[in-house]
Amino acid sequence: MSENQNLLAEQRRSLILDEVRRRGGVRVNELTRKLGVSDMTVRRDLDALARQGVLEKVHGGAVPVVEASTHEPGFEAKSGLELTAKEDIARAAAKLVAPGAAIALSGGTTTFALAHQLLDVPDLTVVTNSVRVADVFHAAQRTSGPRQGAATVVLTGGVRTPSDSLVGPVADQAIAALHFDLLFLGVHGISVEAGLSTPNLAEAETNRRLVQSARRVVVVADHTKWGKVGLSSFASLERIDTLVTDAGLPDEARGVVTEHLRRLVVAGEPGDDADI
């Protein structure tokens, strides 16, 4: 991390969280020196990250939170993390969508960001089990009124999870009868051993149905999801066609990904706008 007094709070907190996870802990005085900000600013940042549940404050610094494989943060808690990365990923992923396509968007804060990027793509059919994603399209229609080429949105039924996804038998049955050109899938964790995983057993089954109904699967996940494993796996890496991630993904992980996936798209780097 380089010293920069002009970093936005979001950027500082992302850097702090990366440092905590990479080193297994940091001290306040180290962060003030590296970030070039005051002790009070660093402590405020640590307080904010601790409230989000992504690190634990200790005397003089912070350490990572060791999450249980069944721990599922709520939508609001996740929405404040890696905001810049999620926006970059959303813009890159939106370039993969052609007008008139039938697409599916799973639940998650990154797919929520992607939904905003798709509002001007004409004649889409969007299937989603995310209440938040559906609201993006419905709110746009309420604001601008009926317009030619507006997306047709199908919201599955089901039981609502902490991340505002609809899961369970009703969602599974609805999804099983459909077929998508592209599935954009947000994930809790991605690893070589576990593939794609989630802490929620019912969500794992619904995601499994989404993958089965898609001609092509695009995972949208920031670099912090790499190496994380939830309770239940629902797809292997070989089932994924494309991973869209951010520049924070380490070189070692990039090498592993390219061995298992057909394509890696790193948002903001050359080649992130090629056709799928």
Give me the CATH number covering residue 34. Answer: 1.10.10.10
Same domain for 55 and 140, yes or no, is no
Task: Return d(Cα 267, Cα 190) in angstroms, integer.
Answer: 18
pLDDT at 78: 53
What pLDDT does residue 72 have?
52
The Cα–Cα gap between 45 and 40 comes to 9
Q: Give me the tens of pLDDT residue by residue for the chain, a chain 276 residues long.
A: 444 444 678 788 888 887 887 777 888 998 998 888 999 999 999 998 888 777 888 888 888 776 544 445 554 455 555 678 899 999 999 999 999 999 999 998 999 999 999 999 999 999 999 999 999 999 988 777 777 788 999 999 999 887 788 999 999 999 999 999 999 999 989 999 999 998 888 999 999 999 999 999 999 999 988 988 888 999 999 999 999 999 988 888 899 998 988 899 999 877 666 554
Beta strands in 135-245 (DSSP E): 152-155, 159-160, 166-167, 180-185, 189-191, 195-198, 214-220, 232-235, 242-245
Asked if residue 215 and residue 197 are part of one domain, the reply reads yes
Q: Let me know whether 146 and 223 are in one domain.
A: yes
Beta strands per DSSP E along 69-213:
102-105, 125-128, 152-155, 159-160, 166-167, 180-185, 189-191, 195-198
Alpha-carbon torsion (69, 72, 104, 166), positive or negative: positive
Strand partners, 235: 196
The whole-number pLDDT of residue 9 equals 82
Beta bridge partners of 244: 220, 265
| Closest by Cα among 47, 51, 168, 152 to 103 | 152
Residue 273 belongs to some domain of the structure: no
Please report whether residue 28 resides in a domain: yes
Q: Which amino acid is at 145?
A: G
Structural tokens at position 140: 């746009």
Same domain for 197 and 86: yes
Whether residues 53 and 132 fall in one domain: no
164 and 208 assigned to the same domain: yes
Is 1 a domain residue?
Answer: no
120 and 197 share one domain:
yes
Domain extent for 58: 9-66
Q: Which residue from 148, 103, 145 is spatially nearest to 124, judged by alpha carbons?
A: 103
CA-wise closest residue to 206 among 237, 246, 173: 173
Query: Does residue 71 form part of some domain?
Result: no
Q: Phi/psi at 76 (nearest 5 deg)? A: -65, -40
- CA distances for 219 relative to 78, 213, 240, 266, angstroms: 17, 15, 7, 12
| Residue 199, pLDDT score | 86
Q: Are residues 19 and 136 in the same domain?
A: no
pLDDT at residue number 80:
53
Say which CATH number the domain at 175 has.
Answer: 3.40.50.1360
pTM of the full structure: 0.72
Q: Quick one: 21 and 158 in the same domain? A: no
Same-domain status, 161 and 247: yes
Query: Of 66, 85, 108, which residue sits at a domain end?
Result: 66
Question: Within this chain, do residues 114 and 248 fall inside the same structural domain, yes or no?
Answer: yes
Q: Which of 39, 66, 93 is the last residue of a domain?
A: 66
Helix or strand holding residue 64 (H, E): strand 61-64
> For residue 276, is it within any domain?
no
Q: Flag whether 187 is in a domain.
A: yes
- R_g of the chain computed on alpha carbons: 19
Q: Do residues 59 and 195 both lie within one domain? A: no
197 within 8 A of 230, measured Cβ to Cβ: yes
Strand order in the sheet with 61-64: 26-27, 61-64, 55-58
What pLDDT, on the 0 to 100 scale, is given for residue 67? Answer: 55
Please state the domain count of the chain: 2
pLDDT for residue 73: 55
Phi (first) and psi of residue 107, to 5 degrees: -70, 160
